[in-house]
């Protein structure tokens, strides 16, 4: 139409007006105006539709962003290498850091130092799996405080099933563990109307089939013998813990009183006949299982100093007592026994203890119990 108008204007300036040209031009202009009006209306409707769609998408985006940010559990998104890309508000609060400061950082930095090597190995295998994975780790907050965490990990994949990232759900299970420990302390049904057996430090405790020993006072060293005849510590049973020959498959297995101990014996037949007794003993057996796995973790460390550090952390958790100087180990282990638990020599343990003393990370009280200051 623009071209037709231009032609008409040029013709009017050069030749007389042809009578039928102007009506024809007006008809064409009217038709074009109608087409433009219809097109304008369609564009206006499309624009309104796009605007509504955009607003809807924005609301949906904000809704999912709020769901992610303010979910009751901590969520993180990383790439396949574990570099953090997104963090929700709950995760930042749990870890005591800002959301922005976490982005671009490796997720392994959140793991307790002693567990990072294993976590890195675990991370390299995650993206190859199609299943959701779960693991229990110790996570370190910005202020250095550690807490027990249960982590669930899922792989993000493209439509072609190529891995492009990982989703992490992190839950603080410290309170659950405290409740479990509270249950462990509720032992009136274990000691009520039972004979108490007393053993002096260094005594061997008889291990009879069908009998579980429950420690009321003191601590018991559980060990086996290597082919060379050397003793190897496989467990430490403190107050509220259980042990017995039926809880092991080791042929050479012995229990030695680390201090003056008091115990009660519980028969397997009684456990089978009492659901309450079974319910009370189950978390204690679970505690022994976790401790056994901790000793396996210690043995898997390549460097002796790492094994010793992991052992001290285990003893701190299992036998630690809070004192003004730090955490005091309630049992006294000789250098030989510490070396046995770490699969090394007494001389090496003595050297490592001396080094930690110089670094003021450990000390000793008047009764030669180890005090952990910065472990």
| pLDDT tens digits, 50-65 | 888 888 888 887 777 7
pLDDT tens track for 247-294: 888 877 899 998 899 999 998 888 888 877 888 888 888 888 888 888
Residue 353 — very low, low, confident or very high, per pLDDT cuts 50/70/90? very high
CA atoms of 304 and 235, how far apart (whole Å)? 19
More confident residue, 40 or 175: 40
CATH architecture of residue range(s) 181-286 = Sandwich (2.60)
- Residue 90's SS3 state is helix
Where do the structural domains in the chain lie, given as residue ranges? 2-67, 70-172, 181-286, 301-375
Which of helix, strand or coil describes residue 13? helix
The answer to whether domain 181-286 and domain 301-375 are alike in fold is no
Q: What is the pLDDT of residue 15?
A: 60
Listed residue (339, 145, 307, 338) closest to 329, CA to CA: 338
pLDDT band at 239; cut points 50, 70, 90 = confident
Looking at residue 9, what is its pLDDT? Answer: 67
Taking CA atoms, 308 is separated from 43, 216, 282, 300, 301, in Å, by 75, 28, 30, 12, 9
**At the topology level of CATH, where does 301-375 sit?**
Arc Repressor Mutant, subunit A (1.10.10)
Q: Is the pLDDT assigned to residue 88 strictly greater than 70?
A: yes
- List the single range of 227-236, 283-292, 313-322, 345-354 with lowest mean pLDDT: 227-236
**Residue from 200, 227, 197, 201 nearest 214 by CA:** 197
- Write out pLDDT tens, residues 28-57: 777 777 888 888 888 988 888 888 888 888
CA angle 315, 319, 321 (to 5 degrees): 115
Tell me the HSE value of 49 on the side-chain side, using a 13 A CA sphere: 6
- Per-residue model confidence (pLDDT) at position 184: 46
H-only helix segments in 86-115: 89-95, 99-102
Question: What is the dotted CATH code of the domain comprising 70-172?
Answer: 3.30.450.20
Higher pLDDT, 252 or 328: 328
């Amino acid at each position: 139409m623009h071209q037709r108008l231009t032609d008409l204007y040029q013709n009017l300036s050069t030749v007389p007006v042809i009578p039928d040209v102007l009506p024809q031009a007006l008809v064409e202009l009217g038709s074009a105006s109608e087409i433009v009006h219809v097109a304008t209306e369609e564009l206006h409707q499309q624009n309104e539709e796009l605007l509504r769609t955009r607003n809807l998408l924005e609301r949906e985006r904000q809704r999912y962003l709020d769901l992610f940010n303010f979910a009751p559990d901590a969520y993180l998104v990383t790439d396949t290498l574990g570099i953090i890309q997104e963090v929700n508000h709950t995760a930042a609060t749990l870890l005591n850091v800002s959301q922005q400061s976490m982005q671009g950082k490796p997720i392994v930095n959140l793991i307790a130092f002693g567990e990072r090597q294993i976590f890195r190995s675990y991370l390299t295998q995650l993206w190859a799996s199609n299943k959701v994975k779960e693991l229990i780790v110790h996570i370190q907050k910005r202020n250095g405080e550690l807490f027990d965490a249960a982590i669930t990990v899922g792989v993000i994949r493209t439509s072609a099933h190529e891995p492009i990232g990982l989703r992490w759900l992190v839950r603080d299970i410290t309170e659950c563990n405290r409740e479990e420990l509270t249950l462990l302390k509720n032992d009136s049904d274990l000691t009520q109307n039972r004979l108490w057996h007393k053993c002096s430090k260094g005594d061997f405790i008889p291990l009879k089939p069908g009998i579980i020993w429950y420690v009321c006072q003191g601590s018991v060293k559980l060990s086996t013998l290597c082919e060379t005849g050397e003793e190897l510590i496989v467990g430490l049973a403190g107050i509220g813990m259980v042990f017995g020959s039926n809880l092991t498959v080791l042929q050479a297995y012995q229990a030695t009183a680390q201090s003056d101990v008091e115990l009660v014996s519980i028969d397997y037949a009684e456990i089978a006949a009492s659901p309450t007794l079974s319910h009370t003993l189950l978390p204690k057996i679970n505690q022994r299982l976790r401790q056994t796995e901790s000793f396996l973790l210690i043995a898997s460390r390549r460097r002796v100093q790492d094994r010793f550090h992991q052992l001290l952390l285990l003893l701190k958790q299992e036998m630690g007592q809070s004192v003004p100087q730090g955490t005091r180990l309630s049992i006294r282990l000789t250098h030989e026994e510490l070396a046995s638990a770490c699969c090394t020599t007494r001389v090496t343990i003595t050297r490592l203890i001396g080094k930690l003393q110089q670094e003021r990370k450990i000390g000793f009280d008047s009764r030669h119990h180890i005090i952990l200051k910065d472990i």
